[in-house]
Structure 1
C-alpha cells in the first residue's frame, strides 16, 4: 500500500495532480482544499495517500494532512458515500468544520457539499456521531456540547452555531461559544437566546 509520496509536482488539474517521485509520475485525485494547501507546479511536496483497488483499476487519493485522510476513510464508511462524494465534502468543508457539524448533528452544513442530499447528509451525521472523537480536532467545549446533545434535539444549538458562522466567526469558535452559553443557561434554550448569550461569551473572549 502506498501511504505517502514525496516529490515534485509535475502537473495540476481541477481535482488531481501528478507528482514525480524519482522519475515516476503518480496521478493522485485530491480535494480542492488539498490542492490549495499544497505547493504549486514544479515545487516539492509531500502527500499522504490512500490507495483504492478495484477489479479494473488502482487509484491514488491524496491529502495534505493525515487527519484529512482519516476523515476520507471515515466518510466512506457511510453507505452511499463513495470517493467522489467524500472528496466533495472535503473540498467544501475543513476537517474541523466536518467534525463540528457531525458533533452538533448539523446536516445542513454537510449538505453544502456537491452531491450530498438531505437524506445522505442526515445519514452521515447520525452514523458518524459516535465515531467522530477519534478523528475530529474538536475543542473540549465542542466535544462536551456534542455529548450533551441528543440526536432528536440539536436544532437550536446547530442553528445558533450557523448564525454565528454567518456573522463571520469560525466554526470551532462559534461551537465553543454556544457550548459555554448552554452550560450557563441550560440546553433547552431557543436559538435566539443561545445566539445572544454566545455573542456575550465571544465579547469576553
Structure 2
C-alpha cells in the first residue's frame, strides 16, 4: 500500500518519528536503529515503510533500508510475533544480522531483543530457517559471526554490574549498527548512555 515516505522530520519519540508530508504530521513507528539516524528536526528523510492494519487501528512503520522493512514483514508473519517484538529485534540488528542469526540458529543473539525469550527465539528459527533470503543476495552482512556473541557478553557484563536485563538491552540497542565494536567499547557505550 504505502511503501515509502519522504518528508521533513518534525520530531522523534522513544519509538516513533513525526514526519511532515504535504501539511500532515505522520507518526511513523521505527526501530531505534532507524530513529538514531534521525537526529535533526527539519532534515529531509526518506524511509521504506510498512502499512499495518488491525481491528483497533492502522499504523505506519518506517525503516532506513528496504531490507529491514522486508525482515519486519517476515517477522510479523510468524505467529506470536507482533510489530512491537519485530521492532525490538530490528532495533538491535539489521536485516543481514537477523538473517545470519536465523541461519546460524543463534538463539542467544535473538534473545537480546526485548520480548524475545528462549522459546520465541527457537520458534523464530523453526519458522524462518530456509525461508529467508541468503546473505549473498543481500550483499553480505556488516556484522561478523562473532558480533552476536560479543553483544551477548556485553549484556551479561552489564547485568553483572547490577543493571536489569531490560536496562541493558535498551542501552545495547542504542549502539550504531554501522560500526562494529569490541566488547569493551560496547560496555563503555552502554554505560555512557545510562549517564545521559
Normalising to structure 2: TM-score of the pair? 0.69
RMSD: 2.9
More helix by share: 1
- Match of 1:137? 138
Normalising to structure 1: TM-score of the pair? 0.66
CA distance 1:119–1:46, change in 2 (3 Å): same
Q: Which has the higher contact order (CA 8 A, sep 6+)?
A: 2
User: Aligned-pair distance for 1:165?
Assistant: 7.2
Larger Rg over CA atoms: 1
Q: Is the 8 A contact 2:7 2:21 kept in 1?
A: yes
Q: How does 1:3-18 map to 2 (within 5 A)?
A: 3-18=3-18
Deviation per CA, 1:126-165, whole angstroms, max 9, x where unpaired? 211111226773649xxxxxxxxxxxxxxxxx8x775577
CA distance 1:139–1:10, change in 2 (3 Å): closer
How far, CA to CA, are the matches of 2:46 and 2:95 in structure 1? Answer: 19
- Match of 1:111? 111
CA distance 1:138–1:125, change in 2 (3 Å): farther
User: Aligned-pair distance for 1:34?
Assistant: 0.8
- Specify every segment of 5 or more residues in structure 1 that has no aligned partner in the other structure, as ranges: 141-157, 172-205
- The count of residues paired between Structure 1 and Structure 2 equals 153
Deviation per CA, 1:29-77, whole angstroms, max 9, x where unpaired? 1110011133521111001111111223111111111000000001112
Q: Is the 8 A contact 2:109 2:151 kept in 1?
A: no
